[in-house]
Amino acid sequence: MKNSITAILVDDEPLARKLLKEYLQDFPEVKIIGECKNGTQAVKAINEDKPGVVFLDIRMPGMDGFEVLENLNYMPRIIFSTAYGDYALKAFERNAVDYLLKPYDRKRFSQAMQKVLNRTVKMENEIDRIVQVLQQSKEQRSFPGRIFIRKGKRIISVEVEIFSGLKLKVIIHNCIRIAVPFFVT
């Protein structure tokens, strides 16, 4: 599937994870690659598997959802899924895509998923624009060593490297990696 996105579900309640799986069946472009029942498992799975989106409960035994975020080396899109409305402001301060307050219905879940999918398309379009601008350059020396793009309210550093004059490699830190074939004339 071309525009697929991977997901990890993090909730200490098995019924909550089951509901997430049920609602995600409406989105065939989303592939669940992991389920975690506590924060420690979540940190390990997210850092290793680098999912596109994480559905994250806040109050869990041991490590809460915010502590999970503090321990990540990789930052996916986050949708908080919790029974506690008190943490919404803090969640959005941590760049959450959405905040699902339990119990939520399929329609509300779908709205949250549309935000994730729209951000994915925006990021892909932004990367395409960057590559297009870089490909317009005819001389190898005219490539900048680093460019910056906006991701929500954050600015992301992008390294540009040329390999043997034949390939252009763009690495977007904490986001995705792409390699684009490019021939210098």
Segment of 20-34, 72-86, 171-185 carrying the highest mean pLDDT: 20-34
List pLDDT tens digits, range 11-32. Answer: 999 999 999 999 999 999 999 9
pTM confidence score: 0.66
Q: Are 13 and 39 in contact (CB under 8 A)?
A: no
* Predicted confidence (pLDDT) per residue in 135-171, tens digit: 555 444 555 666 677 666 777 776 665 544 444 444 4
- pLDDT value at position 7? 96
Give the rounded percent of residues in the chain with a pLDDT score beyond 70: 65
Distances (CA, A) of 110 to 86, 105, 122, 150: 22, 9, 18, 25
